[in-house]
Structure 1
Amino acid sequence: MTQPEAAPTLQVSEVGEEAAEVVTALIHAGFSHRPALDPPATALDETTATVAAALRGAGGLLATRDGEPVGALLLDHDGDWLTLRRVSVAPQAQRLGVASALAAAAEEVAERRRVPRLRLAARVELPATVALWVRLGYREIDRHGPLLTLAKETPVRGVAEDADATRELGRRLAGGLRAGDLLILTGDLGAGKTTLTQGLGAGLGVRGPVTSPTFVLSRVHPSEVGGPPLVHVDAYRLGLGAGAGALELDDLDLDLSLDTAVTVVEWGEGLAERLADDRLHLSIRRATGGATDGAGDEATEQRTVTLTAVGARWVGSDIHRLVT
């Protein structure tokens, strides 16, 4: 009996100047396959020597598919920025996820190097390329003629040892929020979503108590210090009915208060993203077991909070430093 063929393996590795020749070849292959631009791209001016110099600096990434080089990019590290340059995919490997794999690997490099944000240049004449980077979470932050600068913040992780530390993390995070901000919280039952929201409420100076709004779906907590109110939404029940969640979220009329409030949606992943292009995703994970506090969250165990910022609103902000 014939065994089925194994699926091709796509791998991305960090490389240095030893890969200059193959990276240069990929840059030339990828950019020569693009439509003619005015002014023309300068990528075809790259030589093995210029690529080797770049790789000696901040390094680069090489993608292989079953061992064959299919994509590459150069990295440039400047302060808080990791810049992706000369992102190239071999013509025969187009539409196989190579560019997305390179982008994901670049984010991992940024996290390891503790660089808070990434950027790249794209041409407005290549709308499909721009759309790809937008799908990957990049947003336009600058434009000079046909050249766009697209950027995103890298995910950041903070550790809270217990429920009190989770509230404190929320209180710190509130210091970087303003009216119009949307936060989407995910995590298992008892992970600490409401506990973190209590900290947000304390940091924003809103009227409490902040408790789970499961049975009323949403609560509005007015500010007692002249700041924005906190709109606290629990979308758990909305996500239970197949296809019904989006319609029921519309019934809450959150769009009426989005611009004037800080909106927190628990269990909002897959439902609340369409409310705003700029948003914060917070994923909360904890160890199993332990006693519960009054809000139904685990009171004593460590949580890991992963914050992913989406949109130009957060690029260049101090949101990373408020979590770590």
Structure 2
Amino acid sequence: MSLEVTVVGQEAAAEVLAVVRAAFAARPVLDPPADALSETEASIAALLAPGGGLLARLDGRTVGAVVLDPDGDALYLRRFGVDPGAQGRGIARALVRAALAEAAQREGLRRLVILARQELPLTVQFWRDMGFAGTARRPPYVEMARPVPHTVEVPTADAMRALGEHLASVVQAGDLLVLSGELGAGKTTFTQGLGAGLGVRGGITSPTFVIARVHPSLADGPSLVHVDAYRLGGAAELDDLDLDTDLDDAVTVVEWGSGLAEGLADAWLEVRIGRATGGTVAADVIDPEADPRVVELDPVGVRWLGVDLLAP
């Protein structure tokens, strides 16, 4: 199975319309009915004019579509649909991820917004699962939004520490940061910078052998809770950690926490660290200066809407 998502313009109006008609016709009858069912090729072309759209093709067949509608700092997802015959294959999720990536490349966009029918709880839950949170009610719709991720090139270990130290000026008590990346990618180096910026006590090292450490603030700021979830068997074990602090009063960093730690909070900041080159070194002699990193900062939840992570 080959799934490809591409950016398209008005020239793809007929393909987008075909997906919209198939997807919306298969939905339950609503009152008032969905406006999408009255679309024409001309009206879809007009919708595509400002910001284009995305088409998903499965083995060459068009099976998913969304119109991208920029409005101020928001990118609205309009006429989002997947052909009923292709559902259950991750196409909707792929469209959302592609929309996030596209928004991240366009200047000035800080949030993705969708208007979901409140009578369709499974649809609303899908958007929640994709990191969207309700921001307003516009009957018969609920407006849901999520922040746009940022990508930062980090050429050295010092730059990784500096990124962590900068984010210390953005985070606050109760925030959760979920770190991911291969062994030696720089997760602990990032946390060292965060701890320095927060002004906490104690040297920050990898917590692998103790699973979690609490670093109290040396000033009036929040403590730093540093957790390594690598050896944990699941989210339940993470939730059962006997931490000598209230997470609402601390900034919590969980290394190797993707897929485990998100249940600790309603909002979190994903910090995904990847190598910018393909070079590798032995696991026990990893050189943090061996090659540059690319860090994706992916904020999830209402807490991060309107927060400029990279503001000086």
TM-score by length of 1: 0.84
Q: Which runs of 5+ in 1 are unaligned?
A: 1-6, 239-243
Contact 2:214 2:225 in 1 (8 A): yes
Contact 2:66 2:95 in 1 (8 A): yes
Give the alignment's Cα RMSD to 1 decimal: 2.7
Q: Which region of structure 1 is more displaced relative to structure 2, 165-174 or 53-62?
A: 53-62
2:226 match: secondary structure: strand
Distance 1:246 1:255 in 2: 19
Residue 126 in structure 1 maps to residue 126 in structure 2? no
Distance 2:88 2:293 in 1: 38
Partner of 2:280: 288
Q: Which region of structure 1 is more displaced relative to structure 2, 262-271 or 22-31?
A: 22-31
Contact 1:181 1:263 in 2 (8 A): yes
Offset of residue 274 of structure 1: 2.0
Partner of 2:228: 234
Distance 1:78 1:118 in 2: 10
Residue 210 in structure 1 maps to residue 204 in structure 2? yes
Distance 2:60 2:185 in 1: 42
1:268 match: secondary structure: coil
Partner of 1:4: none
Partner of 1:258: 247
Q: Return the index of the structure with the highest Cα Rg.
A: 1
Distance 1:160 1:322 in 2: 16
Write out per-residue CA displacement over residues 8-33 of structure 1, whole angstroms, 9 at most, x where no aligned residue: x4333222222223322332332222
Distance 2:61 2:10 in 1: 18
Pick closer, same or farther for the CA change 1:322–1:289 going to 2, 3 Å. farther
Match for 1:311 among 282, 301, 307?
301
The residue identity in structure 1 corresponding to 2:51 is: A
Contact 2:212 2:243 in 1 (8 A): no
Offset of residue 322 of structure 1: 4.9
Paired positions, count? 308
Pick closer, same or farther for the CA change 1:235–1:23 going to 2, 3 Å. closer
Distance 2:311 2:122 in 1: 35
Distance 2:236 2:129 in 1: 24
Residue 33 in structure 1 maps to residue 26 in structure 2? yes
The residue identity in structure 2 corresponding to 1:314 is: W
Pick closer, same or farther for the CA change 1:11–1:246 going to 2, 3 Å. closer
Residue 77 in structure 1 maps to residue 70 in structure 2? yes
Pick closer, same or farther for the CA change 1:59–1:254 going to 2, 3 Å. farther
The runs of at least 4 aligned residues of structure 1 exceeding 6 Å deviation read none
Offset of residue 150 of structure 1: 1.6
